[in-house]
Structure formats: C-alpha cells, structure tokens
Structure 1
Amino acid sequence: MNQNKIQIQVGAKTRFFLGLTLSILALSSCGSQANKATMNSPATAPLATAETREIANSAPGQTTPEPKKQSQLIKRAQLTLVVQSIHQTTESITQIIQKQQGDILKFEAQKSPNNSQRQTAYLEFRVPQQRLEITLNALTKLGTVENQMITAEDVSDQLVDFQARLRNLRKSEEMILKIMERSGSVGDVLKAANELSTLRESIERIDAQLRNLQNQVAYSTINLTLESAVSAASPPNNWGLRIQETWGTATHAMGEFTWLLLGLILWLFAFSPYLLIMGGAAYGYRWYRQHQIK
C-alpha cells in the first residue's frame, strides 16, 4: 500500500515537472518567432526608410516652394518720333501693324494752315502683348525717338476675383434652376424666376468685365505721335490767283454793304409815320418857343 502511494506521488511530480518544462519551451519558441517576424517584417523597413529619407532631405527652416504664378499685366506704350515724311511713315506703320497682327484704333493728322509749325499725326493701335517689344523696335527705326515710355498694370488679383465670383454665381444659378424644377407653388416659381433674372444680370456684367480685362492683357496699346522734321514748303506765289481771290472778297463785301443800305432804307420807310410825327412835334415845339419869346 505504501509502495503504491510512493509510486503515485513520484508519477505526479514527474508529470508536473514535465508539463512545466514543455510550457517554458513553448513560450521560448513563441518569443523567438515573434522577434524574427518583427525583424523580417516587410512593412516596417520601407516605412522607416521613407521617414528617414524625409528627415534627411528636409532641412530646418525650409519649406517646399510653390510654383510661381505668372502675373497678368496690362501693358501700354507711348512713343514720339520725328520723321521726314508723315505720309510715307504712316504707310510703313500700317505695314508693321499688319505684320504683327495688330489693329489701328485711331488716326488723326494735323497741319498748320500757315506752315509755321510742324505737321503732326497721332495714331493709336494695339498688338498682341508678346509682340509689343518687336513692334516698338520696328517703329523706332522709322525716325528719331523723342519720347518713349512703357507702363504695366498687374490685374492678376482682379482676374482671380472675377473668376471666383463668376463660379459662385453660376453655382447659385444651378441651385435656383433645381428649386424651380422641384417647386410646385406658382408664387415660389415666380420668386425664383425673379432671383434668377437678377443673378443672370450679375453674371453677364461680371463676365463682360472679365473678358475686357483678359482682352487688355492679351493686347497691348501703343500711342504713337509723329512730327515732321521740317515744315512743309510754302506754295509758290500765284499773282493771278491772289488777284482773283482779292476781287472776289471785294465784290462780296460790296454786296454785303449794298444789302445793308437797302435794309436800312426799308426800316426807315417802315417807321416813316413815326418819324414824321416826331419831326412835326419837334418843329411845332420849336415854333411855339420862338413866338412865345417874341
């Protein structure tokens, strides 16, 4: 009986130590597999590499530069040239403008009546902005430059503002159209229609302003003033023409004077009764004074 108890106790202790040993081995194997999986994980290495590259490439105090937007400029130029012949220079300017795909907006020529001043001409035209410098260089070769000036106005913010407002208004227009489709009340439909009409007027106005700015950016205006180098020569004296002009002036003056005298006579004839009455009264008063003194 005692031997059986001893054998049972020895068997229990043996099973206990055997189970403990197996548990320790199992935990050790799980820990080693977890460490290997962590070390050999493919997702961890690229992440660490990407973070390391980002930290290595980024310098302290520096940010990624944004792409620079191109400024939208309205360019205008003023040019004054002294030329030998206004007529020939104007023809050359017309050819230059046509070659550069421009348009003439205004032309005005002035000539002194007594040839005491220079003959002048004024032109206003526009050319594509990318051809402005080429056009100015071609114009300066036609004469002597007295004055040249180029101005530029940046309208980038205005263009962005108009475009944003136009987008918002068109979105509002779409919303109102959807409301009109869903609405069944006549009053709501009329109200939405009035709002839609006002909205479309604003869209047309802003769209026109936007197109005008874009057109001014696309085309540059040039104001050109031409002055002749020497005043035009006075025409040769023509005595026959001068005598004829003098005779015509004299006869015209005589005719005017004749009509003036005729008109005076007619006025006197029309007022003759009053003149006779006034003359008779004056004579009677004088006669009365003379006889009273005597």
Structure 2
Amino acid sequence: MPASMTLPHKSGLAMTALLGGLIFTSCAAVPPALKTSNQATQEIAGAARSPVEGGGAGVTQQSQAAPVPQSRPQLIKKAAITVIVNSVSQSIDTVSKIINNKQGDLIGLNERQPTKDNARHTASITLRVPQNQLESTLNELAKLGTVENRNITAADVSNQLVDIQARLTNLRKTEANLQKIMDRSGSVRDVLSVAQELSNVRQSIEQIDAQLKNLQNQVAYSTITLNLEAAVSGSSPQRGLGAQIQETWNNSSHSVGELTVGLMKLAIWLIAYSPYFLVLVAAIYGVKRWRRNSVAVRPTPPAENN
C-alpha cells in the first residue's frame, strides 16, 4: 500500500477516537442538580435506611464485624440494709455526714414517729453514692448499730450499652449522609423530603442518647435503701401540769363554741318553722274556745219533783 494512503487512514482513526472521548467526558460531567427526582429519592431512601427501622439488624451486623471492647462488665448495683439503732434521730444526722463524705446524695427520707406505747421509731432513707464507694458506705452504715439484714443486687447492662452505642453511631452516619444529600439536592421536593427524613433521624438520636446517658448514670451511681429501727419501743412522755391545763382549757373552749353554734342553729330552725307553730297554736286556741262556748250554751236539765 502506498505511504500517501496509509497516513490519511491513521489520521481518520485518531480523529474518531478523540471525538468519542469528548462525547464520553461530556456525558459523565452532568451536574448533580440535573438528576431526576427518582434518582434523588433512591439516594434519600438508601441514606435513611437506619437500624432503628430495621429492627436492629444493621446494628447486629456492625457489632459482629467490629465488637466494642469491654474492659469490665457494666453493672447497675442496688443495696438494702436494715440497722437497729439506739436513737433514730441521731443516726439520721450521722447518715447525712457519711453521705457528704462519700460525695453522694440523699434522695428520700421517710421518718415515722411512734404514736402508740408499743410502737417503734423508724426511718427509711434512700441514698445514691458512686459505685466505687458502695462497699465502704455500707460498712460505715453498719457501724450505726446492729445489722439486721443486708443485701446487694447487680444487673449487667454491658450488652445494652454496646447496642445503644452502635445504634447511635449508625444514626449519626445516616445524619451526615442525609446532610450531604440535602446540600446537593436541586428541587424543592427533594429538599423537603430530605429535611423530613433528617428531622426523624435527629429525633431518634436524641432519644437514644438520653437512654445511653441514663444507663451510664445508673452504672456510675449505686442506690442504697437504709432502714433504721429503734432498739426499744417508744413510750409517750409524761406531760407537765401546764400542758395538761392548757389542753383542758382548749377542750372546754372548743366545747363552749360547739354548744353556742348548736343553739344558734336551733334558733334558726325554730324561726324557719315559726309559721307552722303559729298555725298550730291558733288551731289549739280555736278548739279550746269552741269547747268553752259549747259548755256555756248547754241547757240546764229540769229538777226532779220530790
């Protein structure tokens, strides 16, 4: 073949390849804003596919793929102790000092004073202390008197913490993906759809984050229920003469007041029924007058002949 025919043929092939490359590059450079609504919807659905809607299947796969290491089990501990003491009031003051030293909190106090001669002075106190101070706090409380019973319960929530942390991580990734889609979406319909999905994901993040903090707080602080009982039954103290006189005066004054109020109520009732009483008195008076008149006009029988 001559050289003059070979060169034009090669130059034609080069021009064809160059045009094909330009066409392919122009097709691949379509901006994201020109995507169709169906494509944007598919991206939103793919990004919003979270473990909350999937029943935790995604969380299980991620936890199996990359398990969160746990150095020690996460336990929620609760303790209860009953102590027989000589003075409940003094023991309550001592318990307050112990809680302050242990950096704890007094949640509730229910003190019951004896109302009968054979009743005991008791108190129920609910405390919260750091978990690492639980044993030492129980030992300090046991020194208040004689321990009647003592128990500690623990619940392992390690798996729950791992599951919640994994769900929270996946939801934050979903939130980031939705934010990216929202930034590059062009139509108003797509933006509103992404905004609604993003709001749902953020609401789920807030709820799960609150659950996580609650569990972590229960793990960090242990609850103690302390029951205090007096060693001897309480008796009613003998009151002084002045207190007895004052009580008698109060009772008599109260009785006089009740009698006065009762008489005033009776007077009001009598006034209300006075018309009926007047009618009854008039009727009685009329009957008596009629009888008198009938006796006065009655004829005298003739005297018999001797």
Distance 1:278 1:183 in 2: 99
Give the Cα separation in 1 of the matches to 2:289 and 2:189: 99
In the aligned structure 2, how far is the partner of 1:287 from the partner of 1:162? Answer: 103
Q: What is aligned with 2:183? A: 181
1:134-173 alignment runs, 5 A limit: 134-173=136-175
**Alignment TM-score, normalising by the size of structure 1:** 0.69
Equivalences for 1:203-222 in 2 at 5 Å?
Answer: 203-222=205-224
Give a deviation string over 1:37-73, Cα, whole Å, max 9, x none.
Answer: xxxxxxxxxxxxxxxxxxxxxxxxxxxxxx8752211
Q: 1:252 and 1:68, CA in 2 relative to 1: closer, same or farther beyond 3 A?
A: closer
| Equivalent AA in structure 1 for residue 240 of structure 2 | N
One-letter code aligned to 1:108 = N
Q: Which amino acid aligns with 1:97?
A: I
Kindly tell me: are residues 156 and 285 of structure 1, through their superposed partners in 2, closer, same or farther at Cα, counting changes over 3 Å? Answer: farther
In the alignment, what sits opposite 1:271? 273
Q: Describe the shift of the 1:136–1:280 C-alpha distance in structure 2 as closer, same or farther (beyond 3 A).
A: same
Asked whether 1:242 is paired with 2:240, we answer no
- Paired with 1:244 and 1:170, the residues of 2 have a C-alpha distance of 73
Q: Are residues 272 and 70 of structure 1, via their aligned partners in 2, closer, same or farther at CA, if it must alter by over 3 Å? A: same
Q: Which amino acid aligns with 2:208?
A: I
Alignment match of 1:254 (pick from 253, 256, 263) = 256
CA contact (8 A) 2:74 2:219 kept: yes
Matched, 1:89 2:80: no
Q: Residue 161 of structure 2 contacts residue 212 of structure 2 at CA under 8 Å; is this kept in 1?
A: yes
Aligned to 2:181, what secondary structure does the other structure show?
helix
- Hey, what's the Cα distance between the residues in 1 that align with 2:209 and 2:287? 89
Distance 1:156 1:282 in 2: 96
- Offset of residue 187 of structure 1: 2.0
Distance apart, 1:236 and its partner CA:
3.0
Secondary structure at the counterpart of residue 76 of structure 2: strand
Letter of the aligned partner of 1:106 in structure 2?
Answer: G
The aligned residue for residue 81 of structure 2 is: 79
Please say which structure displays the higher CA radius of gyration.
1
Letter in 2 for 1:169: L
**Could you say which residue in structure 2 is the equivalent of 1:118?**
120
The separation in 2 between residues aligned to 1:118 and 1:109, in whole angstroms, is: 11
CA positional deviation for 1:239: 2.8
TM-score (ref. length: structure 2): 0.66
Determine the C-alpha separation between the residues in 2 that align with 1:252 and 1:245. 10
| Aligned equivalent of 1:130, options 123, 129, 132 | 132
Q: 1:287 to 1:69 in 2, by over 3 A?
A: farther
String of CA shifts for 1:139-185, please: whole Å, max 9, x gaps: 11111011111111111111111111111111111111111101121
Query: 1:244 & 1:81 partners in 2: Cα distance?
Result: 39
- Rounded to whole Å, the distance in 2 between the matches of 1:95 and 1:137 is 14
RMSD: 2.9
After TM superposition, give the deviation of residue 238 of structure 1 in Å. 1.9
For 1:135 and 1:160, the matched residues in 2 are separated by: 30
Deviation at 1:89, TM superposition (A): 1.6
Distance 1:190 1:239, change over 3 A: same
Counterpart of 1:200?
202
Q: Residue 45 of structure 1 aligns with which residue?
A: none
Structure 1 residues 228 and 284: CA distance shift in structure 2, 3 A: same
Partner SS for 2:224? strand
Shift in alpha-carbon separation, 1:187–1:242, aligned structure 2, 3 A = same
- Structure 1 CA distance for aligned equivalents of residues 171 and 113 of structure 2: 53
